């Protein structure tokens, strides 16, 4: 059983004065998230990330396609008992205190009254809000609200947690704290699906990521594989400085230290370079593919349309 699965999930918004024009926000999305996985949903602003999350949460209805969570339709109330959700830039009832808010959400999520208070106290301590007392949420900073948001998302100990831009708008310390919280949920074996446009966070936390742009899925895979996919260069180290002349035109960047040469060559020309070095009787020390960053992959995927055009 997959944690999350979407099949041709699509959403069109009616636009214009007479609402007769359809603007696609998500186009036939097919996605699978495994149990226990931390899955990053990447895309620039307006890519369709939040629309997808809203469909999964039953806040909006798909124009076509379907989605299942833990093997059941995503609108099934039994499923909602097992999921937690933190919306983008969450706004909570600001006349409530943090314990009151969590009590309310615990009631709605069916958390048994016995032990509810202990659970709330434990969660507030876990998100670093143990000493907020009965201060109303309207007096909370953005970082504090985000932490309350995480607490409400996990008050009922869900199996799958959806986080929409959890680090958005936070200062470096706030981002670090939220990242640590997500890491602790990951360590506890929870399935985490989070959308973000902050790639370093996805790189640090995710097992797999998907890139969505203009409503279309542009790529999905294991973070390391995706980074390697952008690695179009390799570093070659050999002994025999005199061989450099034979491959100089393929080496974009080369450094000679004594008799050892370190050069960067295009992966496409790697075989040719190695053959020339063999002919020159140079002694090969190492060949290392240079890993790209997730950012390079992301930029490559989001720029594909421009290239096609």
Interacting residues with other proteins (CB under 8 A): 13, 54, 57-61, 77-78, 80-81, 83-85, 87, 90-93, 95-96, 104-105, 107-110, 152-153, 156, 162
Closer CB to other proteins, residue 75 or residue 299?
75
In the complex with other proteins, the residue whose CB is nearer, 47 or 226, is 47
Give the nearer residue to other proteins in terms of CB position, either 112 or 307: 112
Q: Which is nearer to other proteins, 113 or 172 (CB)?
A: 113
Q: Minimum Å distance from CB 134 to other proteins?
A: 12
Task: Tell me if 50 sits within 8 A of 43, measured CB to CB.
Answer: no
**39/105 with CB nearer other proteins:** 105
Residues whose CB is less than 8 angstroms from the CB of residue 220 and which lie 6 or more positions away in sequence, other chains included: 31, 208, 209, 210, 211
CA distances from 97 to 144, 204, 216, 295 (A): 12, 33, 40, 39
In angstroms, give the least distance from the CB of 80 to other proteins.
Answer: 4
Residues facing residue 264 across a β-bridge: 235, 253
Shortest CB 185 distance to other proteins, Å:
16
Closest approach, Cβ 150 to other proteins, in A, equals: 12
Tell me whether residue 60 or residue 204 sits nearer to other proteins (CB atom).
60
**Shortest Cβ distance from residue 30 to other proteins (Å)?**
22
**Token pair of 50 as six digits:** 């939040």
Distance in angstroms (rounded) separating the CA atoms of residues 28 and 14: 17
Instruction: Give me the least distance between CB of 77 and other proteins, in Å please.
Output: 4
Minimum gap (Å) between residue 198 Cβ and other proteins: 21
Closer Cβ to other proteins, 149 or 219, answer by number: 149
In the bound state with other proteins, the residue whose beta carbon lies nearer, of 97 and 230, is: 97
Q: What is the dihedral of CA 94, 96, 99, 103, to 10 degrees?
A: -110
Minimum Å gap between C-beta 299 and other proteins is 29
């Amino acid at each position: 059983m997959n944690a999350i699965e979407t099949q041709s999930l699509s959403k069109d918004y009616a636009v214009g004065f007479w609402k007769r024009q359809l603007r696609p926000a998500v186009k036939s999305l097919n996605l699978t998230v495994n149990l226990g996985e931390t899955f990053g949903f990447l895309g620039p602003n307006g890519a369709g990330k939040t629309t997808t999350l809203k469909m999964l949460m039953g806040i909006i209805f798909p124009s076509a396609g379907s989605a299942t969570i833990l093997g059941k339709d995503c609108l099934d109330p039994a499923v909602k008992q097992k999921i937690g959700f933190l919306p983008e830039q969450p706004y909570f009832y600001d006349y409530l205190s943090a314990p009151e808010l969590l009590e309310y959400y615990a009631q709605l999520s069916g958390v048994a009254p016995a032990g509810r208070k202990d659970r709330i106290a434990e969660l507030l301590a876990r998100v670093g809000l143990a000493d907020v007392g009965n201060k109303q949420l309207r007096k909370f900073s953005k970082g504090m609200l985000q932490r309350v948001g995480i607490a409400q998302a996990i008050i009922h100990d869900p199996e799958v947690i959806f986080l929409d831009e959890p680090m958005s708008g936070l200062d470096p310390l706030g981002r670090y704290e939220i990242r640590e919280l997500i890491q602790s949920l990951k360590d506890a074996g929870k399935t985490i699906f989070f959308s973000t446009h902050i790639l370093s966070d996805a790189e640090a936390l995710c097992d797999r990521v998907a890139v969505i742009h203009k409503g279309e899925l542009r790529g999905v895979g294991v973070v390391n594989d995706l980074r390697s996919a952008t690695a179009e260069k390799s570093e070659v180290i050999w002994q025999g400085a005199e061989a450099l002349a034979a491959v100089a035109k393929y080496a974009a960047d080369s450094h000679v230290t004594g008799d050892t040469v370190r050069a960067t060559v295009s992966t496409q020309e790697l075989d040719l370079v190695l053959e020339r070095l063999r002919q020159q009787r140079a002694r090969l020390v190492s060949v290392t593919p240079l890993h790209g960053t997730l950012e390079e992959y992301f930029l490559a995927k989001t720029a594909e349309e421009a290239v096609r055009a």
